[in-house]
């Protein structure tokens, strides 16, 4: 017997599972916990059918029921935080404190509450009213299921059954099919227990949420190409993302991918002169935080050669060498990281510190600092390979004039950071580099490492391909993240009683709406009301 | 010698064209006007390289230069309206008046001016400021060229060098590569002359606009798969759109498609009883307007059988039969329409009126009314084929209870209309049908035919696949249409002087911005100002 799936409002045994698997304790490499099913086509069909059947009812539900669900789910997670953290810590090797208990779990429940708030205030709907043309429009539910595929590195905050994509898809009014990451199945299951209880309390349609633990690769691709889906959200590797994208594209299912990123950090000459040692410390902390297993890990540092640059590298080398080995999420992550470091050195990078796995049989790896020249980076795109873990490549340019050239050779990334002198001495290179980086990243940072992704309406956790597949979206930050899972709906000459509440003349909830080009929380003015009277 | 292309700020001869073509007068079927080049890989490379080279400079330009260009271009088109209309009328067979001179040309210049206004007010940028997190975000230029492929049916309003996609792509700050439709090359060229003059007057970068008249199909697909492009906009056939989508998807270039749509019109029992004859007249007018060559042509009418329904069909049949033959845009359109009508009748539809081409050698076709039963439509998806021209299929359901079932069997469309009794008698079937249609279309209309697409901020000219490839966008209506060609950019802890003007503390242009969740045209309050002081 394997653990049950959550499908169509009940815990159900997998139907003819294609295999079983157990979580692995990364500290020891040993299998732990119960056996979970690797699902079959029959499971997938049940999940898609249940979600599709719930879509219309969910879209038409009083939104208060959805924000009630999201708030209640957050409260249940908070109330069970110690137990959830214990399970997640064992499955992922991530520290209970501060990471899981003080940072990631509160962030997760904060996201659920921000999604609830976005439903309550209808901020994601962006209601737009043109009284002269008799037209009204807003974002609304897709009325189709959203498939969420969660990553390994955030057992709570990006979990397919509790993370940002889950919250956003449901906030938009869509059923979710959650495909958890197989490296933390018991964590996902424990979250789903709370989701199920909140679902029942809110009396949402039973097919509003599905949980599947794992799928054989071809079955995952078949699911991604199912045109009953309204959208797909994936956070994970480039290889996995591109395979899913091809399947989804063929079926014209919109897919949002958050793939690889090396998050370049440019440290300008004046900053190196003034505070190189402090920045080396910041870099080491940022790169080793969470064993470097962040989408926003600073994987590339670029600087112009100088005595201060050499001091910076020496200091960073000392700090990386002194940092303790990092416990990675899984044997797979360790093996992939080893392969990535080997690929970087094969492409010409030199190991300054670390570079090897160990000690022991667990998933440990040494914090690793590599170096290469600008000429090498420009000549070999393989040096832009993401090494997912506590690894940074320092690239040394001959002079500051070469920095914009390097910026111009970079692939799309989630972030780029610029460190500049506090006294304005770096203004010219700052402008030369920033203008090139700007179009290549979603988020630009001044004097700040990229780790630490605030859940804010002004956050952009996105960027140009291959960081994601569309530069116009973000996967973090409400309400923008919700709009990925919404359709744009217009009403032309439609009577007030037939409009969704956010578009009616009266605005009792004081929702922000754009009326004839002005944002307001007021009703439609009486002399302009009654869209049904205006023929265009 | 063939006519020159507009590339990199100059009129240039095609480099080794792959062929030549001339426009055809649809009224006679005869070739008219000069020979235009069918471009070569060399032309395409020059166009892409020129546009790519201009992208950064254009994105960094003072936006006033872009809105100046758009306004000036509009004024030049208005000033030359008579001559432009004469050329377009000859190439397309569309009436000079009212269509081209009084409707489409003013709409086109109105679109350019609305795009200019959206640049001036930065409404498309949607600036979002979180003072607590020290984060600011806005939509901004892709900093890559946008390829616009124009359709045959709007020589001005959707022209690749003057239409809504052109205006939107440029308003976002991106260079445009315009691939005109080969059925109206002289119109496109005449517009480009004005664009070039406005470009020079505004001193935009020379690569801001390129014009190519035609491409061999494989070369068009190769261009769509060029990852130097930031985005693609296409309006045209489903076949063409899907081929381009496959090429763009493989290169991860976002592509916006506006493809086929049959725009279902549901006429509910009470409406038929009360005003069936008037609706039959509305239907005939809407279906024959512009020879039915609109994306929003009412191609499908659905009603429940009743004496009033039979009267409606008889009246519509009389009106279609009495309507004069329509002049289509080109021999290709005529042949395709003939094939579509043949396919519909092969799928079981019965011809009630019209159905044939003629008279004479020109591109004439009879307004055509077809009928089928609900059972036929449900059994055969081929009956949902778009017949691009003055053709409507009336589907008769056994009773009102069957109407939502039919709605549920429809593909994604741009629009759906519901006609209901004025006294509320149709309320129950209205709600049953509308809830199913809502997720299947971009725009829902009450008591109104779908032709007539107001250029409004609340317009949605979009919808689920296969009407488009993404339900979250619109190709008509500023500022939403502009956001298709924009990237989402965040600034994290970035100093005021390094921010784009719309995100700075001071807001001298009174741009609408969302600051800490409130929309306002004010500055950032002094006590919250200085994003650079807030570390998250």
Helices (H) and strands (E) in chain B, counts: 15, 23
Nearest CA of chain B to the CA of A446: how many Å?
5
| Closest Cβ opposite residue A514 in set B55, B452, B457 | B457
- Determine whether the interchain pair B490/A442 forms a contact, defined as Cβ–Cβ distance below 8 Å: yes
In this prediction, residue A141 carries a pLDDT of: 98
Chain B residues in contact with A55 (beta carbon < 8 A): 439
* Contact call for A137 and B436, based on CB within 8 A: no
Beta strands in B402-446, from DSSP E residues, in sequence order: 413-419, 441-446
| Contact residues for A218 (Cβ-Cβ < 8 A; gap 6+) | none
Alpha-helical segments (H) within B289-348: 307-322, 331-346
On the question of pLDDT at B533 being above 60, the answer is no
Whether chain A has a CB inside 8 Å of the CB on B530: the answer is: no
Please give the mean pLDDT across all residues of chain B: 96
Q: Average pLDDT for residues B317-335, to the nearest whole number?
A: 97
Taking contacts as CB-CB distances below 8 angstroms, the residues of chain B near A518 are: 512
pLDDT for res A528: 85
Q: In B, which residues are within 8 Å of A465 by CB distance?
A: 227, 252
Which residue of chain A is at minimal alpha-carbon distance from B441?
Answer: A489
- Chain A partners of B130 at a C-beta cutoff of 8 Å? 454, 456-459
Which residue of B173, B258, B470, B488 to mutate against A (max A Cβ within 10 Å)? B488
Work out the minimum CA distance from B88 to partner chain A, whole angstroms: 26
The domain A40-259+468-536 belongs to what CATH superfamily? Aldehyde Dehydrogenase; Chain A, domain 1 (3.40.605.10)
**Residue of chain B nearest A443, judged by CA positions:** B490
pLDDT of residue B536: 33
> Who among B137, B456, B518 is closest to A135 (CB)?
B456
Catalytic residue among A295, A315, A336, A386: A295
Active site residue A295: yes
pLDDT value, residue B532: 46
Task: Give me the residue from A456, A472, A492 closest to B130, CB to CB.
Answer: A456
Interface test with B, best of A475, A488, A530 (most B CBs within 10 A): A488
Q: Is any Cβ of chain B less than 8 angstroms from the Cβ of A487?
A: yes
Q: Where are the domains of chain A?
A: 40-259+468-536, 264-446
Give chain A positions within 8 Å (CB) of B56: 435-436, 439
Strands (E), B90-173: 128-130, 135-141, 146-149
Q: Which residue of B has its CA nearest to A464?
A: B487
Are A443 and B491 an interchain contact pair (Cβ–Cβ within 8 Å)?
Answer: yes
**Residue B190 C-beta-side C-alpha neighbours within 13 Å:** 21
From chain A, the residues in CB contact with B141 under 8 A are 439
Residues B142 and B230 sit within 8 Å (Cβ to Cβ)? yes
CB-based contact B448 A254, cutoff 8 Å: no
pLDDT score at B535: 36
Look at A135 and B532 and tell me if their CB atoms are within 8 Å.
no
Express each pLDDT in B355-384 by its tens digit.
999 888 899 999 999 999 999 999 999 999
Contact B180, B151 (CB under 8 A): no
Continuous segment of H or E residues that includes residue B421: none
Q: Does B135 touch chain A (CB under 8 A)?
A: yes
pLDDT higher for B376 or B536? B376
For chain A, residues with pLDDT lower than 50 are 532-536
> Under 8 Å CB-to-CB from A157, ≥6 apart: which residues?
A104, A107, A108, A111, A163, A164
Cβ distance of B469 and A130 shorter than 8 Å: no
Length of chain B: 536
CA distance B279 to chain A (A): 15
pLDDT of residue B414: 98
When pLDDT is cut at 50, 70 and 90, the band that residue B58 belongs to is very high
Indicate the pairing of strand A413-419 with strand A391-397: unpaired
Give the number of A-B residue pairs with CB atoms closer than 8 Å: 224
pLDDT of residue B528: 85
Q: Domain B264-446 falls in which CATH fold?
A: Aldehyde Dehydrogenase; Chain A, domain 2 (3.40.309)
Element (H, E) at B409: none
Just list the catalytic residues of B: 258, 295
Mean pLDDT for B346-362 is: 95
> In B, which residues are within 8 Å of A495 by CB distance?
446
d(CA B134, CA B136): 7
Measure B517 CA to nearest chain A CA, in Å: 8
Catalytic position from the list A258, A282, A336, A386: A258
* Nearest residue on chain A to B439, alpha-carbon basis: A143
Is A207 in contact with A178 (CB distance < 8 Å)?
no
Please answer yes or no on whether B498 and A434 come within 8 Å at the CB atom: yes
Contact flag B471-A488 (C-beta cutoff 8 Å)? yes
Interfacial A residues in 427-486 facing B (CB < 8 Å): 430, 434-436, 438-439, 442-448, 452, 454, 456-460, 462, 464-466, 469-474, 480, 483-484, 486
Best of A490, A507, A524 to mutate (most B CBs within 10 Å, chain B):
A490
Q: What is residue B248's predicted lDDT score, i.e. its pLDDT?
A: 98
Nearest to A492 among B443, B470, B520 (CB): B443
Q: Within 10 Å of residue A506's Cβ, how many Cβ atoms?
A: 11
Decide: helix, strand or coil at residue A431.
helix
Query: Is residue B324 less than 8 Å (CB to CB) from chain A?
Result: no
**CATH top-level class of B29-119+143-259+476-482:** alpha beta
Q: Which residue in chain B has the smallest CA separation from A447?
A: B493
Looking up tokens 């899907």, which residue turns up? B242
pLDDT for B20 = 97
Option in A143, A466, A492 nearest B439 (CB): A143
Q: What is the mean pLDDT of residues B330-349?
A: 98
Q: B519 and A512: CB-CB below 8 Å?
A: yes
A388 exposure class (CB count in 10 Å sphere: 0-12, 13-18, 19+):
buried
Write down the pLDDT at residue A389: 98
Best residue of B472, B519, B530 to probe chain A, by most A CBs closer than 10 Å: B472
At B267-320, the pLDDT tens digits run: 999 999 999 999 999 999 999 999 999 999 999 999 999 999 999 999 999 999
Strands B255-258 and B231-235, bridge-based pairing: parallel
- Taking the CA of residue A27 and the nearest CA in chain B, the distance in Å comes to 32
ipTM: 0.97
Question: CA of B489: how far to CAs of A159, A319, A452, B524, in Å?
Answer: 25, 33, 17, 19
CA-to-CA separations, B177 to A250, B146, B200, in angstroms, rounded: 26, 6, 17
User: How near does any CA of chain B get to the CA of A21, in Å?
Assistant: 34
Q: Is the Cβ pair A254, B470 closer than 8 Å? A: yes
**A528 and B CB contact within 8 Å:** no
B192-207 residue pLDDT tens: 999 999 999 999 999 9
pLDDT for A103: 97
Per-residue CA distances from A305 to A375, B127, B414 (Å): 13, 38, 58
Distances (CA, A) of B84 to A187, B114, B180, B274, B361: 67, 21, 15, 45, 26
Adjacent-strand bridge partners of B178? B148, B211
- Give pLDDT, residue A137: 98
Confirm if A4 and A22 have CB atoms less than 8 A apart. no
User: What's the pLDDT at B326?
Assistant: 97
């Amino acid at each position: 017997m394997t653990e049950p799936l959550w499908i169509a409002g009940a815990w159900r045994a997998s139907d003819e599972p294609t295999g079983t698997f157990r979580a692995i304790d990364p500290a020891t490499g040993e299998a732990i916990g119960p056996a979970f099913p690797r699902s079959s086509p029959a499971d997938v069909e049940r999940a898609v059918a249940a979600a599709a059947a719930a879509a219309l009812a969910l879209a038409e539900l009083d939104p208060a029921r959805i924000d009630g669900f999201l708030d209640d789910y957050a409260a249940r997670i908070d109330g069970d935080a110690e137990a959830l953290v214990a399970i997640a810590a064992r499955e992922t090797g991530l520290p209970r404190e501060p990471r899981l208990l003080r940072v990631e779990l509160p962030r997760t429940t904060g996201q659920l509450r921000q999604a609830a708030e976005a439903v309550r205030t209808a901020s994601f709907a962006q209601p737009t009213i043109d009284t002269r043309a008799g037209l009204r429009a807003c974002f609304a539910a897709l009325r189709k299921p959203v498939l969420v595929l969660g990553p390994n590195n955030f057992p709570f905050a990006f979990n397919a059954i509790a993370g940002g994509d889950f919250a956003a898809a449901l906030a938009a009014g869509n059923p979710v099919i959650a495909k958890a990451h197989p490296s933390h199945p018991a964590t996902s299951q424990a979250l789903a227990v709370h989701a199920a209880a909140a679902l029942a309390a809110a009396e949402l349609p039973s097919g509003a949420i599905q949980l599947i633990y794992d799928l054989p690769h071809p079955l995952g691709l078949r699911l991604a190409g199912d045109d009953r889906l309204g959208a797909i959200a994936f956070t994970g590797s480039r290889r996995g993302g591109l395979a899913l994208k091809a399947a989804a594209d063929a079926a014209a299912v919109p897919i949002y991918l958050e793939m690889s990123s090396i998050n370049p950090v440019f440290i300008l000459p004046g900053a190196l002169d003034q505070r190189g040692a402090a920045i080396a410390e910041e870099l080491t902390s940022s790169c080793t935080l969470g064993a470097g297993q962040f989408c926003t890990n600073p994987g590339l540092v670029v600087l112009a050669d100088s005595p201060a640059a050499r001091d910076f590298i020496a200091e960073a080398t000392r700090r990386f060498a002194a940092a303790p080995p990092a416990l990675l999420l899984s044997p797979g992550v360790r093996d992939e990281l080893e392969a990535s470091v080997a690929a970087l050195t094969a492409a010409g990078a030199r190991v300054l510190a670390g570079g090897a796995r160990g000690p022991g049989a667990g998933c440990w790896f040494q914090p690793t600092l590599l170096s290469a020249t600008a000429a090498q980076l420009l000549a070999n795109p393989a040096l832009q390979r993401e090494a997912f873990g506590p690894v940074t490549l320092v690239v040394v340019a001959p002079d500051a004039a070469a920095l914009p050239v390097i910026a111009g050779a970079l692939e799309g990334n989630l972030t780029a950071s610029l460190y500049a002198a506090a006294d304005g001495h770096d203004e010219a290179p700052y402008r030369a580099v920033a203008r090139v980086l700007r179009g290549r990243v979603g988020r630009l940072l001044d004097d700040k490492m990229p780790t630490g992704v605030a859940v804010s309406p002004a956050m952009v956790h996105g960027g140009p391909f291959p960081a994601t597949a569309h530069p116009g979206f973000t996967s973090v930050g409400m309400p923008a993240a919700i709009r990925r899972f919404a359709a744009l709906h217009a009403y032309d000459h439609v009577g007030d009683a037939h409009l969704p509440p956010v578009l009616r003349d009266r605005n009792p909830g004081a929702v922000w709406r754009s009326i004839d080009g002005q944002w307001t929380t007021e009703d439609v003015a009486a002399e302009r009301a009654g869209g049904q009277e205006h023929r265009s």
